[in-house]
Structure 1
Amino acid sequence: MSRLVTIAAATLGLLLAGCADSGADGAGGTDVAQEPVSSRSTAVDATEPAPDDRSTDQAGGTVPATLDFTGTTVSGESFDGASLAGRPTLLWFWAPWCPTCRGQIPQVEGIAADHAGEINVIGIGSLDSAEAIAGFAGDVDDVVHLEDVDGELWKRFGVTEQSSFVLLDADGTVVFEAGYGGTDDLDAQVDDVLG
């Protein structure tokens, strides 16, 4: 019951923040000024090791702290963030009922298709049921989707609004973050990290 109350409260707060007003272009709401990466909460919360710390994976290699997490795909399979190490990664945080998130599907699919084999593109759905998250994910091609019903991955990466993007370089360092509606620079940022 408390889980439902938490989800309902988070949903209400986000709706009040403006996601429900998608506007005529589907981009959603008004532009939000971007904060520099250095001023935002980046990769991990205070209980996690610093982003420069490394852990050891099962094969004995090192894994950036930002990728030292586990999750579950929308198909119910276990997912290990360490599998993303060594390649740039775009994390897309979305909610299934968010029209802005739905409007970003073509851009995210384009990045995944245009840079297949060069960048990991991971969708992380939250703020709804596992069934709703899986339903939205089914509409997006070429992207691995994780269900984050309890918002643990959102908290880990300091995400407070949907839709948000976090771009990591091959070393797992956060190089770009964009909050609600902030996708104008996303393609250029991906090109830069793949440089």
Structure 2
Amino acid sequence: MTSSTGSDRVINRRVLLIAAGALSSTALLGCSTRATNDASATGEFEFREPTPTATVIPEERRAPAPAFSGELLDGTGFESSSLAGDVAVINFWGSWCVPCRVETPEFQAVHADVADRGVEFLGIDVKDQRQMAVAFVERLGVAYPSVFDPRGEVAMAFRGFPANVVPSTILLDRAGRVAAVYTGQVRGEDLRAAVELLLAEDRA
């Protein structure tokens, strides 16, 4: 009789554990569904997967980028609204990031070629020290501004964006919609190709 009671207790414990697991999974699914519904309700960008290099997202599938603000490396304020009406290249980097040392000069070369054609470049310096970041851009001759964002707040504004992947790059079209998200190092020629695709789009 005692043996049977012990067996029943083991079975009951297993049933309770399975039930608890099911409730936990349901709760997680509920959170996930709620986040998706919020994104669709606002119509704002939500990251799902990176864009193949040198390509852009079809216009009908683009979503508006979130508004963000911050402080540039030189201490002046920045508002994302200043990018309105132009194609924008937003690059997340850090002075500690080895691929960034290769990528940044190539980005600067593209910037120099297209800056007068309605293309804005903006760096987002993450997980860094300001003096190290300033030395980095000065050493590489970077002419475009960078927001100093040591806590990664700008990345968090882009829903679901993989903030820990540095370097990574987001392109915005003239309407302020996310047109591409590249995770990892981007070659200058691939960036140039994507920018040209956005510049070729009808301004209307």
TM superposition score normalised by structure 2: 0.62
Which of 43, 46, 50 does residue 50 from structure 1 map onto? 43
Contact 2:64 2:177 in 1 (8 A): no
Q: Taking structure 1 as reference, are residues 49 and 74 closer, same or farther at Cα in structure 2, changes over 3 Å only?
A: farther
Higher helix share: 2
Structure 2 segments unaligned to the other structure (5+ residues): 1-37, 46-62
Letter in 2 for 1:131: Q
Q: Taking structure 1 as reference, are residues 103 and 150 closer, same or farther at Cα in structure 2, changes over 3 Å only?
A: same
Letter in 2 for 1:132: M
CA distance in 2, matches of 1:97, 1:125: 10
Shift of 1:93: 0.4
Aligned counterpart, 1:146: 147
CA RMSD of aligned residues (A): 2.3
Q: Taking structure 1 as reference, are residues 67 and 111 closer, same or farther at Cα in structure 2, changes over 3 Å only?
A: farther
Q: SS of the residue aligned with 1:68?
A: coil
Which of 183, 188, 191 does residue 186 from structure 1 map onto? 191
Shift of 1:79: 0.5
Aligned counterpart, 1:130: 130
CA distance in 2, matches of 1:181, 1:194: 22
4+ residue stretches of structure 1 with deviation over 3 A?
A: none
CA distance in 2, matches of 1:113, 1:145: 16
Q: SS of the residue aligned with 1:177?
A: strand
CA distance in 2, matches of 1:92, 1:181: 10
Shift of 1:134: 2.2
Letter in 1 for 2:93: W
Structure 1 segments unaligned to the other structure (5+ residues): 1-44, 53-63
Contact 2:105 2:142 in 1 (8 A): no
CA distance in 2, matches of 1:65, 1:188: 22
Aligned counterpart, 1:169: 173
Contact 1:105 1:140 in 2 (8 A): no
Contact 1:96 1:136 in 2 (8 A): yes
Aligned counterpart, 2:164: 160
Letter in 1 for 2:177: T
Contact 1:67 1:84 in 2 (8 A): no
Q: SS of the residue aligned with 1:166?
A: strand
Matched, 1:97 2:101: no
Question: Over alpha carbons, which structure has the higher Rg?
Answer: 2
List per-residue Cα deviations over 1:109-131 (Å, max 9, x = no partner): 11111011320000111112222
CA distance in 2, matches of 1:172, 1:96: 28
